[in-house]
């Protein structure tokens, strides 16, 4: 199942820099692990925002929920999810 996910991050301004940096390092490690596994297929930064658009390829709604709630930055995120399916006019057979 493919999902389009927008993640907007809002780290509290009063969070100590060392704490924020540690959380961001764990986030990067976890997200790259998911990318290498193929579950997190694409990630794009939104220019001028602390936000991204991502494409996830997972088995179920529950799996996506588990992945997102395990993100170290999850407590500081606003997340919106849109389910996707292959468009009949697509020329790419691997976009299932």
Q: How far apart are CA 82 and CA 6, in angstroms?
A: 9
- β-pairing, 40-45 vs 2-9, is unpaired
* pLDDT tens per residue, range 32-61: 999 999 999 999 999 999 999 999 999 999
Residue 95 located in a structural domain: no
* pLDDT tens per residue, range 66-86: 999 999 999 999 999 999 998
Residue 69 located in a structural domain: yes
* 58 to 9, 16, 55: CA distances (angstroms): 22, 34, 10
CATH number at residue 32: 3.30.70.1060
Residue 43 located in a structural domain: yes
Residues 24-37 have a mean pLDDT of 98
Residue 94 located in a structural domain: no
Residue 59 located in a structural domain: yes
Which element (helix H / strand E) includes 33?
Answer: helix 17-37
Residue 41 located in a structural domain: yes
Q: How many domains does the chain have?
A: 1
Backbone angles phi, psi at 47, to 5 degrees: -60, 130
- Give the range of the structural domain holding residue 29, as residue numbers without chain letter: 2-84
Per the listing, tokens 């780290």 go with 11
Counting beta carbons within 10 angstroms of the beta carbon of residue 11, is it exposed (0 to 12), middle (13 to 18) or buried (19 or more)? Answer: middle
Residue 94 pLDDT exceeds 90: no
Cβ atoms 28, 36 nearer than 8 A: no
Q: What is the predicted pLDDT for the residue at 96?
A: 63
């Amino acid at each position: 199942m493919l999902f389009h996910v927008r993640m907007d991050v809002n780290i509290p301004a009063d969070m100590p820099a060392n704490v924020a940096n540690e959380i961001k390092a764990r986030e990067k490690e976890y997200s790259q692990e998911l990318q290498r596994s193929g579950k997190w297929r694409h990630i794009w930064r939104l220019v001028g925002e602390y936000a991204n658009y991502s494409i996830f390829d997972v088995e179920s709604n529950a799996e996506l929920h588990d992945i997102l709630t395990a993100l170290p930055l999850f407590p500081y995120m606003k997340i919106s999810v849109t389910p996707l399916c292959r468009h009949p006019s697509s020329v790419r057979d691997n976009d299932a």
